[in-house]
Amino acid sequence: MKLSSANINVMVKACRKAARTLIRDFGEIENLQVSLKGPGDYVSAADKQVEKILIDELQRARPNYSILSEEIGEINNDKSFRWIIDPIDGTSNFLHGIPHFAISIGLEQDQEIICGIIYDPIKDEMFTAEKGNGSYINNHRMRVSSRSKLKDCMIFTGGPKYDSADRDASMKEYNKFSSEIFTPIRKLGSGSLDMAYVAAGRCDGFFSRNLSYWDIAAGIILVKEAGGFVTDFNGENEYIKNKTMVASNAKINKEMTDILGS
């Protein structure tokens, strides 16, 4: 079985077209034009080009839908439907020649994510999900892991920027997991792929602070449709408002939030 709805097909087509630019530029890292957008936050010429291709393709297919994208901000049209776009999640990895980054697109209907795609162009892995129809990787059904004890799990996390107001809190949380519970922690540099890997059962949980909506929109439905939980650090459904995120299999969410919410 595979997902083949009209919206999924539009998203897949846009991702594959934009990915050609990424794959080409990834092979010519030294020639990329890079501008400083902020401390530790770089945007490349590839970022802007990928975003343009995605928006052009999505608008061609759905001209009335609104858009929220990392680089350009908002395009306000139909308030019922909105594309949520991150053209390159893992820009620093991309710019350093590390083959771990992704294109992420989510689709909202009435402020609820109903479709999501996270595409890793280097590994050619297409993670897709649609409300009520499950999560898939390259058309194979995905399920979250079944590990039930946090001490046996692998957990992924992001990391605070050096000027983050929550830096001390983030380091405290990291130390709790890595020192007190001895749970393996990995920081791979792409929040969307972290969530896709939770959905695929490659890791058991992911937590992070202060992620932008475009970082997590597609991942939310991937994890939920794969049988996982998405909550804030207190185990509630306020992860967008509170800007704290836990994505995990269904069995370890409470153990994770007991640590993070304390």
Here the CATH number for the domain that contains residue 171 is: 3.40.190.80
Residue with tokens 């830096």: 167
In this structure, are residues 143 and 226 in contact, taking their beta carbons and an 8 Å threshold? yes
Question: What is residue 174's predicted lDDT score, i.e. its pLDDT?
Answer: 84
Question: What is residue 170's predicted lDDT score, i.e. its pLDDT?
Answer: 80
- Whether 244 and 136 share a structural domain: no
DSSP β-ladder status, 78-89 and 73-75: unpaired
From 22, 92, 14, 99, select the one nearest 60 (Cα to Cα). Answer: 14
Q: Which residues on adjacent β-strands are paired with residue 84?
A: 68, 106
Question: What is residue 261's predicted lDDT score, i.e. its pLDDT?
Answer: 84
- Whether 96 and 154 share a structural domain: no
179: Cα within 13 Å, side-chain hemisphere: 6
Residue with tokens 């997590």: 216
Q: Which two tokens stand for residue 256?
A: 């994770």
Q: Which residues on adjacent β-strands are paired with residue 129?
A: 116, 135
Question: What is residue 105's predicted lDDT score, i.e. its pLDDT?
Answer: 98
CA distance 106 to 129: 9
Order across the sheet with 185-186: list the strands: 185-186, 155-157, 205-209, 244-248, 229-231
Question: What is residue 9's predicted lDDT score, i.e. its pLDDT?
Answer: 95
How many other β-carbons are positioned within 10 Å of the β-carbon of residue 43? 19
In a domain, 85, yes or no: yes
Q: Print pLDDT tens along the chain (262 aa).
A: 577 799 999 999 999 999 998 998 888 876 766 766 654 456 678 889 999 999 999 999 999 999 999 888 899 998 899 999 999 999 889 988 899 999 999 999 999 999 999 999 999 999 999 999 999 999 899 999 999 999 889 999 987 666 666 777 788 888 887 776 777 789 999 999 999 999 999 999 999 998 899 999 999 999 999 999 999 999 999 888 888 999 999 999 999 999 898 6
In a domain, 1, yes or no: no
Q: Which two tokens stand for residue 55?
A: 């928006």
CA distance 89 to 47: 9
- Whether 131 and 10 share a structural domain: yes
- Whether 166 and 122 share a structural domain: no
- Whether 175 and 107 share a structural domain: no
In a domain, 90, yes or no: yes
Question: What is residue 111's predicted lDDT score, i.e. its pLDDT?
Answer: 92
Q: Which two tokens stand for residue 242?
A: 């509170």
Question: What is residue 222's predicted lDDT score, i.e. its pLDDT?
Answer: 98
- Whether 11 and 128 share a structural domain: yes
- Whether 126 and 159 share a structural domain: no
- Whether 178 and 248 share a structural domain: yes
CA distance 153 to 148: 8
Q: Which amino acid is at 190?
A: S
From 125, 100, 101, 127, select the one nearest 116 (Cα to Cα). Answer: 127
- Whether 154 and 136 share a structural domain: no
In a domain, 189, yes or no: yes
- Whether 127 and 231 share a structural domain: no
Q: What is the pTM of this model?
A: 0.92
Q: Which domain covers residue 88, as residue numbers?
A: 6-141
C-alpha of 136 from chain center: 15
In a domain, 133, yes or no: yes
| Domain CATH for 112 | 3.30.540.10
CA distance 83 to 101: 20
In this structure, are residues 160 and 167 in contact, taking their beta carbons and an 8 Å threshold? yes
- Out of 141, 165, 190, a domain closes at 141
- Whether 136 and 15 share a structural domain: yes
Question: What is residue 41's predicted lDDT score, i.e. its pLDDT?
Answer: 57
- Out of 108, 141, 174, a domain closes at 141
From 133, 113, 105, 148, select the one nearest 19 (Cα to Cα). Answer: 105
- Whether 164 and 231 share a structural domain: yes
- Provide the domain count of the chain: 2
From 215, 202, 212, select the one nearest 248 (Cα to Cα). Answer: 202
Rg (CA), the chain: 18
